[in-house]
């Protein structure tokens, strides 16, 4: 039976490179590109079919930043497929990033310089906003929309006769100090990206505890620093091109400068090839590229604990209830809300 692989944010960057690499690995897959911009999704599909003419590539409209869109997309998935083997939670945003230039030059001459280049610790802030569901946009896109998707697809992911996987594109920018259980959406701070990625690391751990017994396994990866639309939002592409020789030089000291989407997708592909039982739920799997341009994957322990991840899971369930209720109050999905209440009670 063909394996069904859904990838969010698959129309560009690391998501699209992953699609290419997955099809090269296994031409029999059924790939589903879950994207909010269907024009770009069509273009991605055309590109994939040009290099893999016999591939099965489906498109699904999904805006992970919208509760209604996630519920509708999940409904559509349930009508199309009887199971989901891999769910890559890759869509992500870093809106209005600001670089702290002073901190950058201070870090450049400190002992922390390698870590600074690998994690951007203390260098980046973002300006977030509230979306039409009254949720923080970064939190919803990078974490909560994906959480809802997993919840909705539970019957297709948790089946007695096979194992399934969810794989998060997290970041080494995920930091405990940017996250607070009292403000899981990061309404009050200036590092929503770091907070949302730390939350995804914890959610992955909680999912493993909750769902391994039902055949669902979760993992997180960091793709390294990759030139994509996300990084072109931090500095313009011509600037990155200008400093590329310096970046290759830095690669000698930190293997986290993977630079191309192909290299960045390394750990995502590596996980595809692993037996889930052999993976460490507290490890983040890093895509790395050596100074000679060799790609490999390395697990590194995450700074997360069981209690906090469990507390986050409970808070996300509460927020899910509120979000669904609000949607019903606005006049949509009454039937779905009734079904949801029946399920949880």
Ligand X SMILES: NC(=O)C1=CN([C@@H]2O[C@H](COP(=O)(O)OP(=O)(O)OC[C@H]3O[C@@H](n4cnc5c(N)ncnc54)[C@H](OP(=O)(O)O)[C@@H]3O)[C@@H](O)[C@H]2O)C=CC1
Residue 10 to residue 345: CA distance in whole angstroms: 35
Helix (H) or strand (E) holding 342: helix 334-344
Applying CB under 6 A, the site for ligand LFW5757T has a residue count of 16
- The least distance separating ligand LFW5757T from the CB of residue 302, rounded to whole angstroms, comes to 14
Backbone angles phi, psi at 45, to 5 degrees: -60, -45
CB 165 within 8 Å of CB 218: yes
For 269-293, b/e burial (b = at least 16 CB within 10 A) is bbbbeeebeebebbebbbbbbeeee
3-state SS assignment for residue 113: helix
3-state SS assignment for residue 298: strand
The single residue among 34, 41, 93, 124 that binds ligand LFW5757T, judged by CB under 6 A, is 124
CB 8 within 8 Å of CB 15: yes
The single residue among 72, 90, 173, 287 that binds ligand LFW5757T, judged by CB under 6 A, is 173
Binding residues for ligand LFW5757T restricted to 219-248, rule: CB under 6 A: 222, 225, 231, 234-235
Helix (H) or strand (E) holding 57: strand 56-61
3-state SS assignment for residue 175: coil
Binding partner selected for residue 220 from ligand LFW5757T, ligand X, none, CB under the kind-specific 5 to 8 Å limit: none
Binding residues for ligand LFW5757T restricted to 181-210, rule: CB under 6 A: none
Q: Which of 81, 88, 193, 285 is catalytic?
A: 193
Q: Which residues contact 118 (CB under 8 A, 6 or more apart)?
A: 172, 225, 254, 256
Return the range that interacts with ligand LFW5757T (CB under 6 A); candidates 19-27, 112-120, 142-150, 333-341: 112-120
Binding partner selected for residue 9 from ligand LFW5757T, ligand X, none, CB under the kind-specific 5 to 8 Å limit: ligand X
Binding partner selected for residue 12 from ligand X, ligand LFW5757T, none, CB under the kind-specific 5 to 8 Å limit: ligand X
Strands 86-89 and 98-99 come out as: unpaired
Binding partner selected for residue 92 from ligand X, ligand LFW5757T, none, CB under the kind-specific 5 to 8 Å limit: ligand X
The single residue among 19, 34, 123, 268 that binds ligand LFW5757T, judged by CB under 6 A, is 123
3-state SS assignment for residue 281: coil
Binding partner selected for residue 124 from ligand LFW5757T, ligand X, none, CB under the kind-specific 5 to 8 Å limit: ligand LFW5757T
Cα dihedral sign for 334, 335, 341, 344? negative
Name the residue nearer to ligand X (CB basis): 55 or 91: 91
Binding of ligand LFW5757T by 126 (CB under 6 A) = no
The single residue among 81, 104, 232, 270 that binds ligand LFW5757T, judged by CB under 6 A, is 104
Name the residue nearer to ligand X (CB basis): 13 or 107: 13
Residue 173 to residue 165: CA distance in whole angstroms: 23
Binding partner selected for residue 341 from ligand LFW5757T, ligand X, none, CB under the kind-specific 5 to 8 Å limit: none
- The least distance separating ligand X from the CB of residue 341, rounded to whole angstroms, comes to 27
- Residues in contact with ligand X by CB under 6 A are 8-9, 11-15, 35-37, 40, 62-65, 90-93, 141, 169, 171, 222-223, 225-226, 228-231
Is 81 labeled as catalytic in the residue annotation? no
- The least distance separating ligand X from the CB of residue 1, rounded to whole angstroms, comes to 28
Residue 50 to residue 125: CA distance in whole angstroms: 39
Helix (H) or strand (E) holding 60: strand 56-61
Nearest residue to the partner ligand LFW5757T, using Cβ: 171
Q: Which of 145, 283, 152 is nearest to 221 (CA)?
A: 283
3-state SS assignment for residue 254: coil
Name the residue nearer to ligand LFW5757T (CB basis): 104 or 270: 104
Site of interaction with ligand LFW5757T (CB under 6 A) = 99, 101, 104, 117, 119-120, 123-124, 171-173, 222, 225, 231, 234-235
Catalytic residue annotation: 193
């Amino acid at each position: 039976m063909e394996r069904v692989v859904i990838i969010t944010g698959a129309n560009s960057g690391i998501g699209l490179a992953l699609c290419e690499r997955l099809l090269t690995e296994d031409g029999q897959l059924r790939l589903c590109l879950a994207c909010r911009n269907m024009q770009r999704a069509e273009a991605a599909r055309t590109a994939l079919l040009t290099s893999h003419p016999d591939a099965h590539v489906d498109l699904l409209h999904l805006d992970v930043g919208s509760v209604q869109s996630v519920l509708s997309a999940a409904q559509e998935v349930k009508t199309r497929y009887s199971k989901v083997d891999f769910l890559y939670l890759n869509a992500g945003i870093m809106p209005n990033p600001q670089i702290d230039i002073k901190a950058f030059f201070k870090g450049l001459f400190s002992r922390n310089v390698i870590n600074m280049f690998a994690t951007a610790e203390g260098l980046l802030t973002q300006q977030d906003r509230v979306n039409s569901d009254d949720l923080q946009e970064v939190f919803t896109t990078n974490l909560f929309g994906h959480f809802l998707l997993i919840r909705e697809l539970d019957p297709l992911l948790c089946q007695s006769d096979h194992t399934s996987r969810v794989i998060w594109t997290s970041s080494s920018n995920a930091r405990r100090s940017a996250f607070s259980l009292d403000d899981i959406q990061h309404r009050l701070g200036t590092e929503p990206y770091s907070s949302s990625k730390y939350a995804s690391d914890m959610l992955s751990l909680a999912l493993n505890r909750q769902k391994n017994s039902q055949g669902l396994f979760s993992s997180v990866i960091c793709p390294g620093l990759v030139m994509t639309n996300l990084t072109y939002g931090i500095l313009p592409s011509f600037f990155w091109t200008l400093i590329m020789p310096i970046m290759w030089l830095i690669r000698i000291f930190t293997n986290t400068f993977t630079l191309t989407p192909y290299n960045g997708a390394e750990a995502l592909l590596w996980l595809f090839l692993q037996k889930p039982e052999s993976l460490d739920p507290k490890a983040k799997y890093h895509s790395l590229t050596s100074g000679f341009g060799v790609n490999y994957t390395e697990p590194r322990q995450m700074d997360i604990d069981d209690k906090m991840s469990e507390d986050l899971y409970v808070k996300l369930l509460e927020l899910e209830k509120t979000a669904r209720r609000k949607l019903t109050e606005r006049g949509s999905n009454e039937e779905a809300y009734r079904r949801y209440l029946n399920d949880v009670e």
